[in-house]
Structure 1
Amino acid sequence: MILLVIDTQKLIMTNNLYNFDSLVPNIEQLIATARKNKIEIVYIRHDDGPNTELTEGKEGFDIYEKFQPTKDERIFDKTVNSAFKGTGLLEYLKEKGTKKIVVAGLQTDFCIDATVKCGFEHDFHMIVPAHANSTEDNHFMSGENSYKYYNEWMWPGRYATCISMEETIKEMEYN
């Protein structure tokens, strides 16, 4: 099992996210539980490329201060929605024999969705804890509706096991 923390970067970790006040402590709890139980944490950062605010060298590219990785935790950078495409993550996890991935981070309707579905297609058991991913309002849906659409309808029973934080913590403690 690993904990995959996706795109929790300073530029996009804002109060505009749905349920921000629950999201932050939930991800903090997942990180603390993983470290306590010696579960590897892998961070993913999104890079929009040169001349953007979400690129290496810009402050917004850095991981949110409350989720800082330790020097031993791996970081993979990506340029598309899926954490698996062209990052080396897939090969790394296959080499380690990883079977289960707990997914947390941003954004529900972009990179979390793509990563959950791609992870499923690569035969990983994807676990999505409740209120440990989020997104902003868009032209079609509120952040809340996007969150509910994926976490309560799209992923469960298809691409991922979507469970409460409490169930996820128990799963991590008995890994």
Structure 2
Amino acid sequence: MSTSNQQALIIIDVQNAMFDPSDPVYQGEALLHKIQGLITKARSNHIPIFYVQHEERDGTPLERGSQGWLIHPSISPQETDVIIHKKTPDSFYETKLRQELVQRDISEVILAGIQTEICVDTTCRAARSQGYQVTLVKDTHSTWDSNDLTADQIIQHHNNVLQWFASLKNADEVTFGNIEAR
């Protein structure tokens, strides 16, 4: 791993289907607002932004090319951003993410997105295993209630567990260069 201190913001699976009014992700509007703040500060500091976009089989809400599969319009990528397509919870597995990070000499990844206990957790662990310095933005990842736990309990539990793999910060504590994201 490089000794550079280059950062990248990685936004995982913030796609239209996650905000379906019949079963929206927990605190979705607050999540979008905080991610928008991270994006604004990253852009102002010329930090690369990566959008990870999950794809599922035909006929599902995340079918490639469907309205649900699209990245949420409130955080739309710009031409200079990188979009990574994946089919598993691991944003690195059989994708071009690692290649794109290496090409930009990235050593620190800052993670936000959906779904806490699946794609966010898996990508956090994979990034650490591949030698990246990882920051998990603990108030900018979300999920849904399960049969046993509320979404809030799942988020808190994963923030506790993932501290072994990442530095945990709230969105207002994240810095890109010398400027804090608010």
Partner of 1:172: 176
Structure whose residues are more often strand by fraction: 2
Decide which of 153, 163, 168 is 1:162's aligned counterpart. Answer: 168
Aligned length: 171
User: Which of 106, 123, 132 lines up with 2:131 in the alignment?
Assistant: 123
Cα distance, 1:14 vs structure 2:
4.6
Cα offset, 1:163, TM superposition: 1.0
Check whether the contact 2:56–2:64 (CA below 8 A) recurs between aligned residues. no
**C-alpha separation between the residues in 1 aligned to 2:46 and 2:103?**
18
Q: Shift in Å at residue 88 of structure 1? A: 1.1
Secondary structure of the equivalent of 1:63? coil
Question: Which stretch of structure 1 is more off in the superposition, 46-55 or 56-65?
Answer: 46-55
What secondary structure, in the 3-state scheme, does the structure 2 residue paired with 1:90 have?
A: helix
SS state of the match for residue 10, structure 2? strand
Tell me how large the CA RMSD over aligned residues is: 1.4
Higher helix share: 1
Instruction: Work out whether residues 45 and 78 of structure 1, in 8 Å CA contact, stay in contact via their aligned partners in 2.
Output: yes
Instruction: Find the residue that maps to 1:60 and give its secondary structure.
Output: coil
Q: For residues 71 and 17 of structure 1, do their structure 2 counterparts lie closer, same or farther at Cα, with a shift above 3 Å needed?
A: same
2:116 and 2:178 map into 1 onto residues whose CA distance is 27
What CA distance in whole angstroms lies between the structure 2 residues aligned with 1:52 and 1:14?
Answer: 13
SS in 2 for 1:11: helix
Unaligned runs of 5+ in 2: 1-6
User: In structure 2, do the counterparts of structure 1 residues 173 and 82 end up closer, same or farther at CA, with 3 Å as the change threshold?
Assistant: same
Contact 1:5 1:44 survives alignment (8 Å): yes
Mapped pair 1:3 → 2:24? no
**Among 136, 151, 160, the residue aligned to 2:144:** 136
Question: 2:72 aligned with 1:64, yes or no?
Answer: yes
Residue 97 of structure 2 corresponds to residue 89 of structure 1: yes
- Which shows bigger deviation, 113-122 or 135-144? 135-144
Identity of aligned residues (%): 24
CA contact (8 A) 1:33 1:173 kept: no
TM norm structure 2: 0.89
Which runs of structure 2 are paired with 1:8-157 in the superposition (5 Å)?
8-14=14-20, 16-151=24-159, 153-156=160-163
Q: Aligned AA for 1:154?
A: V
CA distance in 2, matches of 1:7, 1:140: 23
Q: 17-26 or 158-167, which moves further after superposition?
A: 17-26
Distance in 1 between residues matched to 2:168 and 2:20, nearest whole Å? 24
